[in-house]
Structure 1
């Protein structure tokens, strides 16, 4: 069991190690099936080794020092963070080789970044703007330690990133010319492709964007700016990203957990997913006065809602569906001829979108079978 101060474990700490404790938890509770988590991490590590690509798992969903430790122990080259706050939290937990995948631009946040760079080994940051690069160079000069920058290249997401090969090359040249910065490589992340349902369509869309990355790399090489690192890709394209021969590492983030959105797509050419659901929200039935309809104590505050409704994982409820019924409540419709829910019954749900759902909770309740074996903090929640 990972040691945490008792006071941080919350009201369910008393059930750790108690056989059957999984069903006795105060709810709603975020559950993490450690057997499934460990298999998922091992599966991704084995795949990456087989195809000859590095994995730098994204922690924007997990937000967990303990999960990052396990990924690094399995062979991950480092960890991605979406925000400076996430990087600070993971660095405080001893995680090195962090890549912050979004720009850091305001003066007060640049000050925090420079402070983090002084103590975090292998820290890198993406940039997409020359004025920001100048500001980062000036701050690094004052601190006396070089900062490693990765040029971000937009591959169709339309969010951050340089928007042309020429713009990306100019930024790379600017970084390389600075005495106070290190040109570390290129980021090309196509998050908008990760949930395309059909594998063939997802592969074709990714291939089109990898062609653009390849053109950028050819241009950079000709300009004596060939990057040592090319990072991008994700869970939905984990078996596609290596095929293009452009990426040196993959930023998969959801694979340790999986969620409804990922489990509903064809993860591989054959359709089957090598990763299993490991993340659930456990709830309790608080009212059951209507036939075939029960109210559980989990609503808007318990599930991320932009990805559609969660799915009942247990118990088996034929024809079950969930609908939000307020901040604290949700309704479960089911076939009353085949099952019955009573007050106090436990209902576990597969999350619709793991990342923002995790961010609603302070703790993971780690289970093996019917036993609660540990409680881990969501270290970077809200950061």
Structure 2
């Protein structure tokens, strides 16, 4: 995907150019992004863990490259579409974190391995492993495969230690496959609001993972890679988890959803809000409110409401007023914005908000610095 030319009137680097965008627009604060990438890289080095961050949060080659330059060993991709785009742009160390099971996708994955041999994938079923093995044998390649472990979310993964052993043996029995380790990701653990409750949940998950690792080690199949964790549990997993690497993704942007959970008792999150939706005021006729041009088509709906970050309006409530419209309910003493004023909102949930836009409008303070495409948006 190529970056669209900026609309007439954009000028890079001009003072105030941040507030001359074609709204609704996705605004990325490069200074905050860079600090977030650095802080997570430093945290993982301190924990003695590797980092393979999830590209599903940003779907952007420039951001993936910056993460690797900061020390990440590769990236995770939730879909084959993401993986193909990243590999085509020279990103290495890709792990596809969901099984692919249709004949078309199996064939595409094996083709991807042919061009990027260090690409890996997870399976939770021996028949799926067999299909990958047959396709790999036909193509004359060896595919690296991990056993996917279910931690209570009920999505994908094997459910027991015995099942993990059986699947690992099935993978190892295929000459065209290489058993690379285990993935154990608990999406439901990431947003447990109370730190103490999140710690307890993680420790139970860690025990199950350790039991699987111990069993595999006892049969001469110690996992080379034990991958999992995320932004919400990265510190718990980094300090005491069984993982060799962590899959955190949302830390690059942070969002309102993560602001609703406690990082650690008495501690603030080490990551900053870096991603915003900018919207413009389109009507001011109703007392105590203004209407904007960012409605339900501009924000992910599976999280909290957008939170206004614009100074002077940070306590105002943002509501949806239709597909193309938002409503800001002003608090007592707030000065009503004028027609055309730009407001910026912390996004509710970063991953599904990003896919609504073609590009990141990258800013430094009040200046538009660059425009980066959301490279892996859409289906191929």
Provide closer, same or farther for how the CA distance between residues 242 and 315 of structure 1 changes in structure 2, counting only shifts above 3 A. closer
Q: 1:152-301 alignment to 2 at 5 Å?
A: 152-301=148-297
Aligned with 1:243: secondary structure?
Answer: helix
CA distance in 2, matches of 1:318, 1:10: 29
Offset of residue 299 of structure 1: 0.5
1:136 alignment partner in structure 2:
132
1:58 to 50, 54, 64: 54
- 1:51-78 per-residue CA deviation (whole Å, 9 max, x = no partner) reads 1000100011110100000000000011
1:280 aligned counterpart, secondary structure: strand
Q: Which residue of 2 aligns with 1:14?
A: 10
The structure 1 residue matched to 2:343, chosen from 347, 360, 366, is: 347
- Would you say how many aligned residue pairs link Structure 1 and Structure 2? 379
Q: Which residue of 2 aligns with 1:81?
A: 77
Q: Distance in 1 between matches of 2:62 and 2:265?
A: 32
Once the two structures are superposed, residues 236-265 of structure 1 have per-residue CA deviations (whole angstroms, 9 ceiling, x without a partner) of: 011000233410000001000000011221
1:16-71 CA-partner distances (Å, limit 9, x unpaired): 22221001111000000000000000000001101100010001111010000000
Gap runs ≥5 in structure 1: none
**Following TM superposition, by how much is the alpha carbon of 1:300 offset from its aligned partner in structure 2, in angstroms?**
0.8
1:149 matches 2:155:
no
Corresponding position of 1:120: 116
Deviation at 1:336, TM superposition (A): 5.6
- Identify which range, 307-316 or 334-343, moves more after superposition: 334-343
Instruction: Give the whole-Å Cα distance in 2 for the aligned partners of 1:192 and 1:13.
Output: 44
Of 63, 70, 84 in structure 1, the residue corresponding to residue 66 of structure 2 is 70
Q: TM-score, normalised by structure 2?
A: 0.97
Report the Cα distance in structure 2 between the residues aligned to 1:70 and 1:319, rounded to whole angstroms: 34
2:20 match: 24
8 Å contact from structure 1 (residues 318, 335) kept in 2: no
Structure 1 residue 11, shift from structure 2 partner:
2.0
SS in structure 1 of the partner of residue 136 of structure 2: helix
2: CA distance, partners of 1:115 / 1:214: 34
Q: TM-score, normalised by structure 1?
A: 0.96
Instruction: Report the counterpart of residue 379 of structure 1 in structure 2.
Output: 375
- Give how far 1:306 is off: 1.4
Root-mean-square deviation (Å): 1.4
Cα shift readout 1:92-133 (whole Å, capped 9, x = no counterpart): 111011000000110011111111111114100000011111
Q: Residue by residue, what CA displacement relative to the aligned partner does 1:319-350 show, whole Å, maximum 9, x if unpaired? A: 41011111100100002633111110111000
Which stretch of the first structure deviates more once superposed, 279-288 or 269-278? 269-278
SS in 1 for 2:252: coil
Superposition pairs for residues 320-331 of structure 1, below 5 Å? Answer: 320-331=316-327
1:310 — aligned with what?
306
**3-state SS of 2:309 partner:** strand
Aligned CA distance change for structure 1 residues 279 and 35 (closer, same or farther; 3 Å): same
Cα 1:251–1:13 shift into 2, 3 Å: farther
Q: 8 Å contact 1:315–1:347 — kept in the other structure?
A: no
